[in-house]
Structure 1
Amino acid sequence: MRAAGRSVRTRLRDRVAASDPGLLRLVAGLRTVGAIALALAVLALIGSDVTHLVAGAMAAMVATFAIREKQRGPQAVTLALGLPVALASVSLAALLSSRVVIGDVFFVVLIFCAVYGRRFGDRGTALGLIGFQLYFVSLFVGATVSGLPELYLSLTVAFACSALVRFAIVPATPAGVLQRLRQAFRARLAQLISAQLDLLEADPDDIDKVLEDLREGTARLHETALMIQTRLDDNTLDESTTRLVQRRIADAEIAAERLGLLLLTARSARRADTLTLHLPGAPLPSMGRMPGTDEATGLLRRDLAALRELVVRPPAEARGTALSHLRNRLLGYRDEENLPAASPAAQDVFRGIGETARAVMGLRVALDGPQDESDDSPATTRSREELDAEDAAIDAGEAAADEAEPTGLRRPTTRAAVQVAVGSTLAIVGGEMLSAQRWYWAVLTCWIVFINTASTGEILVKGYRRLLGTVFGVVAGIVLAGLVGQHTWTAFALVLVFVFAMFYTAPLSYTLMSFFVTAMLGLLYTLLHTYSASVLLLRIEETALGAACGVVAAALVLPVRTDSRTDELLGTVLDRLTDVTEGAVDQLSGGPAADLLDRSRDLDQALGDLRAATQPLTHPITPMRARRDTARYVVALLETCAYHARSLAATAELLPTHPSIAADPRLRGAVRRTVRNIGAIAAHVADPGAATEVETGPSIASLLEYDAAGVPRYGRITGRVLRHLERLDEAVTGLARPLGVPVAAPKR
């Protein structure tokens, strides 16, 4: 019974970890709700009225979510500096409340400084956010000079409660967050293997649904890998350990994605295109049952389930010989003589299972330390020796050189500060025409739509989502205000629920977050005795006005159009793709070792930035359907290119220690055309008038042909490298058509 209970708890824990990697959303929600609840309790005990309860609650919320640093020391310093900034902000708001023009001018200057402060990193961002939001809070509660002492007390209590919750009640150290992200990676890897098992067993009529789950699982695993790589930079691990974890995470991700492709190929009449895993709606090859005997299919089903068990079983439950037996059997598939009798495509799947099992074992060693080796088979022992040799070869590498940043108005923070200042000025003028008391809602919306956006299109989409969430939030606020009435603590309890929901859903849906914010504000208005349906309807009008002012400012003042932004990021992705491909092939050809892990991570981050920047083009409401499909197709092709480049880099990293991989100088020639084509596409993106073209020619797969004596020209590992090069070359050539790059006819 105890074992069954542990199993249920483990499954529940893994499900939660997979849905919220690192529990980052849960921690953010609990911290904010805890800080607000504690501040309300303390203020109630000292007899504060409802107005100062509301001010304290909002200040506690701001003091909690504004802090961005990962380490506890910098967090404490920023929080300590935030209190005097908050006190100065509310003081100036109260002093200037009766001087309309001067107050408005100061508010615009404050907004400019708050946005410009982002250039100074997380601390500058946090202090600017605190200064702006607390000015807004003072306007919201109607702060006066005579009421400043009580307001000071509320803010001091709020910041103290925020610090107590952050550092004592709901602590989150970088090491703890990283540990939870590792658990999330395991859980999502297990989910991806489950989707692959479904692919093995699915009827041909159900293949579309299974492939959608496979795509989602692959994307979610990659998302978690990127989160871990980002957190590794902020951790206190030494360089070698950091690179070891990064390496094992990358190995497991690549092996799992390759296993999915091999399964898809085995069920297809021909080799599956990698694009199928990255582009919804991609044309599918004809799908049938697994080739070969039912016995081979049954073995695959058994071994995929065993692989999933290896992933999900925590170290504390991995004792005994059962798990060792599963591991030894799966690792045995890395030897040709242990492959079951099956079709060549099915045998490739067994090989893929063996390689994935090796990656999982390396992941366990990197994350959980040394494992029990008493029951190792010869195949397992050899795999351990390979992993140990790779670990010993890992070097910290050289630090990347800092890139030159733009200056003046070309600097993103300066440009955004000017844009927000102009948009806020328009919002103040228009907002005061709508309401002399609540004009600041328009300014708040204008401010928010500029946060974490970099182009006019992104601002337009964010403004639309905020307006949509606000409309539904107003309806909910009207209903809740009627139900709650004047029950103060019931209203505060609902406020806490909405605050938690707001922070928990923020990374998932900006519309949902806006809904919860607006519903919460309806309750706060009820508490302040200023609620009416007209007030909430006015919020919709002010929100629409603020969003419109933000879009106008972004479009007319130092504009960064979506096309320009995506072209710039596309050029960066192509440059990073060239770096990874050239570095990997050069190392596989016998060249010096390069820092391929960092290059691969830079490629993934650049591709993530491009994916985010294309959201205005791929949004469902966009009227330009052809352009939307083109953007999705280009991003999917680039994801395909990145997968093959990462696979090449992972194979190149094995070269110094893997006995079955040898450098081959002929690989340099195989990649020249691909690199030239990437450069031609990048030149066309930078200058559409440039005279560039993409070259085509004999397939790289021709290098895999047998020689006259019937002996393979390359070994199995080198053949895999060439297949990655071939797929990369095909994907790069495929980029030419949607991007309008001429394709030269093959030379005879």
Structure 2
Amino acid sequence: MRDRIAASDPGLLRLASGLRTVASIVLTLVVLVLFGASVPHLVAGAMASMVSNFAVRERERRAQAVTLALGLPVALACVCLAALLHDRVVAGDLFFVALIFLAVYGRRFGDRGTALGLFGFQLYFVSLFVGVTVEDLGVLCAVVTTAVVCSAVVRFALVPQAPTGVLERLREAFRARFAQLVAAQLELLDAGPADADRALANVREGNARLHETALLIQGRLEEGTGDEHTARLLQRRVADAEIAAERLGLLLLTARSAERTDTLTLHLPGAPVPEAGRLPVRDRGVEALRRDLRALRVLVRRPGGAGLAQVRNRLLSYREEENLPAAAPPVQDVFRGVGEAARAVLGLRIALDGPQDESDDTPSTARSREELDAEDAAIDAAEETPVEEPTGLRRPTTRAAVQVAVGSSMAIVGGELLSSHRWYWAVLTCWIVFVNTSSTGEILVKGYRRLLGTVLGVVAGIVLAGAVGHHTWTAFALVLLFVFLMFYVAPLSYTLMSFFVTAALGLLYTLLHTYSLSVLVLRIGETALGAACGVFAAAVVLPVATDRRTNDLLVDVLDRLREVTTTAVDQLSGGPPVELLDQARELDQALADLRSATKPLTHPVTPLRARRDTARYVVALLETSAYHARSLAATAELLPTHPSIAADPRLRGAGRRIATNIEAIAAHLADDRAEARVQTGPSIASLLEPQLPGSPRYGRVTDRVLRHLQRLDESVMGLARPLEVPVGKEEKARAG
């Protein structure tokens, strides 16, 4: 059960966020009730407490405290201005638009700028919601101060979230998801024709969930570890485990087929399981493979215990040819993959839990430990290269600030026409659809989801308001439940989050004695208006089309892919050692950004089916390419510390065509008139054929590198057709 919880909510980040918000609201309400606050002030305190929780995004406790300390005067200033401008409609609206612009523009200053902008906008909105006047100003300022202080007490004392603790829970989640992926791979091994597609879909989902956790860990290493060396060690071990797990799935898929399976099958949603051939059910080698996959899953899940040393030793022995069980060659490849996965688990265990008991080590296990120790000693900190950012209106935060200011102005005018008392809901929706979005398509999808969640929430609000009536504490309890669920599901579903927000809102209106069916229907109208204003502003004012946004991100992914591939191949060819961890991490982050930006194109309700399929295919090809590039980088990192792995100068020529083709595709995406062509030619393996008859071809490590290069070459070539890049014959193939 613990593993399931850890895997479903990595780091317990969503659970902690929901509990912290609810606890701070409860503490705020208790304090305010003790001082005899009225219901409107209780509502204002609850909303201010909620803002104090979700606005602060820093990971270090000291930085969080500074942001809260700065956020309080910003919040009080906005409350005071809302009260002073209560009867000055035009001045109030102009200030609100200016505040919205500054709040969005503040994102350029990082998490603290974003937090202060949220404090300002949300507390001004809360003041409008409760209708603050100059007479109520003193009490409301005391309520806001109480809410911020209670939020700080909960954050730092009652529900603390230290960076080291978060990283520890994320590591447990990685183990749990690794074990779940091995279980899915075991299911794929035994799946019949009727269940094969579902089993493969589970493996794909397991790979994606493991990769998601790896990215979360990488984002927390700096704050959660004590020094740079430890952070880079853990980063390498997590990357090794992820690559080994994905490679094991690919080898299993290949073993089911009569011929080698394309890696794209693991990344393209809906791609069918290869039907040619199936593993014999009663084969002794396959039975041993089932046993060892179960053993690997136990080895991942359990930190220690009786019998695990023998299991570990057996699995690690498969890294040596003489220890492989008698089986068909594809099945033997899977045993090799099991051995590499066991080595990755051992390295992860040492990095996470420190030195292990070595009394039961076999010679194979001892050699694996020596390899890991040599790699650990070779880890050095890499210097970060500053990235040049755009300026002026080309800066994303400046452009978004102008867009949301224009959209909010339209929302104010339209909202006033719908209701002179509830117009601010349109402004809130317009503001929210711009949060964490970068293109018109993303804003359109977010607006649609918010409207859908609002409609469903209004229905729930009508039912609950009738059932709860005027039972104040029952309504507050339900509001707290909805607030918890809102924060818990926010990273998973924006529609569900909007549903819980609106349902809670219906109960708040009941508490304020302003509930009516017309109010909730008006909420739908204001939401639709705000979403429409946001989409219109994004499409007309300094627009960033989804195609342009995805093209820019696609070029970034290709640049990162070329950088990782070129550096890894150069090192494998005998070049100087280079730190590849950061380059691989930047590739993963660029690919994650692209995947997020293509969601409007791949949305299930999109009418452009062909475009949706193309976007999915391109992303799958890039994910396949990134997997092979990470694998090349991982092998290159072993080169300086493993005497059994020797550099092969011929690889440099084999990787040259890949880099050239990546550059050609990026050039066409940046400029349709570019003349560069994707070059085809002999297979990558043929470029390494010996020039003298009878001379050795290449060893097993070079063979593995060649397989990754060949798959990478095929994936890059596959990008040319959907991206409409011209293809030409290679004039001359050289090994270099």
TM-score, scaled to structure 1: 0.96
1:615 equivalent in structure 2: 599
Q: Report which stretch shifted further, 189-198 or 284-293.
A: 284-293
Q: Deviations over 1:208-236 (max 9, x none)?
A: 00000000000110111011111113334
Alignment of 1:49-128 (within 5 A): 49-128=38-117
Contact 1:112 1:420 in 2 (8 A): yes
- Within the alignment, does 1:566 sit opposite 2:553 as a pair? no
Aligned partner of 1:427 among 406, 411, 416? 411
Q: Report which stretch shifted further, 269-278 or 285-294.
A: 285-294
- Within the alignment, does 1:664 sit opposite 2:648 as a pair? yes
Could you tell me which amino acid in structure 2 is paired with residue 714 of structure 1?
Y
- Within the alignment, does 1:243 sit opposite 2:227 as a pair? no
1:537 equivalent in structure 2: 521
Q: Report which stretch shifted further, 684-693 or 732-741.
A: 684-693
Could you tell me which amino acid in structure 2 is paired with residue 124 of structure 1?
G
Contact 1:252 1:359 in 2 (8 A): yes
Aligned partner of 2:308 among 323, 327, 341? 323
2:699 equivalent in structure 1: 715
What SS does structure 1 have at the residue aligned with 2:310?
A: helix
Q: Deviations over 1:252-306 (max 9, x none)?
A: 0000100000000000111011101111122542244315962111100000000
Aligned partner of 1:140 among 111, 129, 137? 129
1:3 equivalent in structure 2: none
What SS does structure 1 have at the residue aligned with 2:619?
A: helix
Contact 1:56 1:155 in 2 (8 A): yes
Contact 2:650 2:688 in 1 (8 A): no
Contact 1:291 1:343 in 2 (8 A): no
- Within the alignment, does 1:348 sit opposite 2:354 as a pair? no
Could you tell me which amino acid in structure 2 is paired with residue 49 of structure 1?
S
Q: CA deviation at 1:701?
A: 2.7
Contact 2:651 2:688 in 1 (8 A): no
What SS does structure 2 have at the residue aligned with 1:69?
A: coil
What SS does structure 1 have at the residue aligned with 2:330?
A: helix
2-structure distance, mates of 1:678, 1:419? 35
Alignment of 1:474-489 (within 5 A): 474-489=458-473
What SS does structure 2 have at the residue aligned with 1:678?
A: helix
Contact 2:316 2:343 in 1 (8 A): yes
Distance of aligned partners of 1:614 and 1:443 in 2 relative to their CA distance in 1, 3 Å threshold: same
1-structure distance, mates of 2:144, 2:184? 50
Aligned partner of 1:642 among 610, 615, 626? 626
1:7 equivalent in structure 2: none
2-structure distance, mates of 1:730, 1:302? 34
1:384 equivalent in structure 2: 369
Q: CA deviation at 1:525?
A: 0.3
Aligned partner of 2:351 among 342, 354, 366? 366
Could you tell me which amino acid in structure 1 is paired with residue 206 of structure 2?
G
What SS does structure 2 have at the residue aligned with 1:591?
A: coil
Aligned partner of 2:389 among 388, 405, 424? 405
2-structure distance, mates of 1:576, 1:293? 46
Q: Deviations over 1:236-257 (max 9, x none)?
A: 4211111100000000000010
Could you tell me which amino acid in structure 1 is paired with residue 394 of structure 2?
R
2-structure distance, mates of 1:84, 1:694? 58
Distance of aligned partners of 1:342 and 1:708 in 2 relative to their CA distance in 1, 3 Å threshold: farther
- Within the alignment, does 1:601 sit opposite 2:594 as a pair? no
- Within the alignment, does 1:335 sit opposite 2:320 as a pair? yes
**How many correspondences in the alignment?**
732
Could you tell me which amino acid in structure 1 is paired with residue 112 of structure 2?
R
2-structure distance, mates of 1:383, 1:480? 61
- Within the alignment, does 1:453 sit opposite 2:437 as a pair? yes
1-structure distance, mates of 2:80, 2:329? 76
What SS does structure 2 have at the residue aligned with 1:280?
A: coil
- Within the alignment, does 1:507 sit opposite 2:491 as a pair? yes
2-structure distance, mates of 1:13, 1:288? 39
1-structure distance, mates of 2:479, 2:503? 8
Contact 1:270 1:285 in 2 (8 A): no
Q: CA deviation at 1:692?
A: 1.9
2-structure distance, mates of 1:704, 1:358? 29
1-structure distance, mates of 2:309, 2:249? 24
1:5 equivalent in structure 2: none
Q: CA deviation at 1:702?
A: 2.8
2:157 equivalent in structure 1: 168
Aligned partner of 1:33 among 22, 29, 37? 22
2-structure distance, mates of 1:745, 1:292? 46
What SS does structure 2 have at the residue aligned with 1:205?
A: coil
- RMSD over aligned CA atoms reads 1.3
1:394 equivalent in structure 2: 379
Could you tell me which amino acid in structure 2 is paired with residue 615 of structure 1?
K
2-structure distance, mates of 1:534, 1:284? 53
Identify unmatched segments of 5+ residues in structure 2: none
Contact 2:551 2:669 in 1 (8 A): yes
1:225 equivalent in structure 2: 214
Q: Deviations over 1:106-145 (max 9, x none)?
A: 0000101111111111111001101100000011111111
- Within the alignment, does 1:214 sit opposite 2:203 as a pair? yes
2-structure distance, mates of 1:66, 1:686? 37
Q: CA deviation at 1:46?
A: 1.1
2-structure distance, mates of 1:51, 1:85? 22
Q: CA deviation at 1:742?
A: 1.0
- Within the alignment, does 1:681 sit opposite 2:681 as a pair? no
1-structure distance, mates of 2:253, 2:695? 29
Could you tell me which amino acid in structure 2 is paired with residue 220 of structure 1?
R
Q: Deviations over 1:693-740 (max 9, x none)?
A: 111111113357699877751111110001000000000000000000
Q: CA deviation at 1:642?
A: 0.2
Identify unmatched segments of 5+ residues in structure 1: 1-11
2-structure distance, mates of 1:644, 1:429? 54
2-structure distance, mates of 1:747, 1:400? 38
Q: CA deviation at 1:81?
A: 1.1
Alignment of 1:7-26 (within 5 A): 12-26=1-15
Contact 1:707 1:713 in 2 (8 A): no
Q: CA deviation at 1:505?
A: 0.3
1-structure distance, mates of 2:654, 2:212? 31
1:696 equivalent in structure 2: 680
Contact 2:197 2:272 in 1 (8 A): no
Aligned partner of 1:278 among 267, 287, 297? 267
2-structure distance, mates of 1:225, 1:392? 22
1-structure distance, mates of 2:715, 2:517? 56
